[in-house]
Amino acid sequence: MQKKETIALEAVSKTYSQGAVAVHALGSISFKVHEGERVSIIGPSGCGKSTLLHILGLLDVPTGGKLFLDGTDVSTLDEQQLAHFRGRKIGFIFQSFFLIPTMDALSNVALPMMFYDVPEHARLHKAQLMLERLGMGDRLHHLPSELSGGQRQRVAIARALVNDPSVLLADEPTGNLDSRSGEEVLKIFDELSREGKTIIIVTHDPNIAKMSPRIIRLKDGNIESDEKKR
């Protein structure tokens, strides 16, 4: 059976206007990603990786072209529907984590559920299960400043997963990790993709890209190659 198309881009472009100067961050990007696929996006600094990820995460809008998520043309969604997509269908892992420094690991992970009428005990329970799954069960009440870089990364991943999104987007998710913690994070991504989540990772790390079943290489805002391993 053909798997569901979770992401489809049709000639997506992005131009930033910097005063009189136009920066063409994305030329014309088209590709499809199916349910459960794990894709790495690589390419030199400034080639448009983060721009593309922000568009996929509905944090930025393309200048031209179309983006479909789960078959829906996102340009037809109103603000409320967009917020719903952002909050429930997409998990975003930012390079700098954006954890709330005054909240412990458990509360950081429970936070995204606040916006969806989940009662507090259920929120904390779900957050705890997610942290346990990521091997963080003994660090629930540590503040971010009391955690190692790799542990903070796992809190950020748990938070991105807690609303059970179908798409997980990660910008340099192993950028701050030693190779062993990086591999652990990758193992988690691999497990998640086998559970049917679509995972898109932006990375500079050639080892991560090598372990990915599909690699999209960007150059100057366009796709240079799109390779699937068999």
Ligand X SMILES: Nc1ncnc2c1ncn2[C@@H]1O[C@H](COP(=O)(O)OP(=O)(O)OP(=O)(O)O)[C@@H](O)[C@H]1O
50-109 positions binding Mg ion, by CB under 5 A: 50
**Which of 53, 157 has the CB closer to ligand X?**
53
Smallest distance from Mg ion to CB 177, Å: 17
Angle at 139 between CA 92 and CA 98, to 5 degrees: 30
Task: Work out which of 8, 12, 33, 49 binds ligand X, going by CB under 6 A.
Answer: 49
Smallest distance from ligand X to CB 175, Å: 10
Confirm if 49 and 41 have CB atoms less than 8 A apart: yes
**Which of 65, 87 has the CB closer to ligand X?**
65
Annotate the chain with DSSP letters as a single string.
Answer: -PPPEEEEEEEEEEEEEETTEEEEEEEEEEEEEETT-EEEEE-STTSSHHHHHHHHTTSS--SEEEEEETTEEGGG--HHHHHHIIIIIEEEE-TT----TTS-HHHHHHGGGGGGT--HHHHHHHHHHHHHHTT-GGGTT--GGGS-HHHHHHHHHHHHHTT--SEEEEESTTTTS-HHHHHHHHHHHHHHHHTT-EEEEE---HHHHHTSSEEEEEETTEEEEEEE--
Smallest distance from ligand X to CB 15, Å: 9
**Which of 160, 202 has the CB closer to ligand X?**
202
Q: Environment class of residue 19 by beta-carbon count within 10 Å: exposed (0-12), middle (13-18) or buried (19+)?
A: exposed
Smallest distance from ligand X to CB 91, Å: 19
**Which of 28, 148 has the CB closer to ligand X?**
28
**Which of 136, 208 has the CB closer to Mg ion?**
208
What string marks each residue from 14 to 33 as x (binds ligand X by CB under 6 A) or -? Answer: --x-x----x-x--------
Select the binding partner of residue 18 from Mg ion, ligand X, none (C-beta < 5 to 8 A, by kind): ligand X
In the complex, residue closest to Mg ion by CB: 50
Task: Decide if residue 108 touches ligand X (CB under 6 A).
Answer: no
Smallest distance from Mg ion to CB 221, Å: 13
Task: Work out which of 48, 91, 112, 165 binds ligand X, going by CB under 6 A.
Answer: 48
Positions touching ligand X (CB under 6 A) are 16, 18, 23, 25, 45-51
Residues that bind Mg ion (CB under 5 A): 50
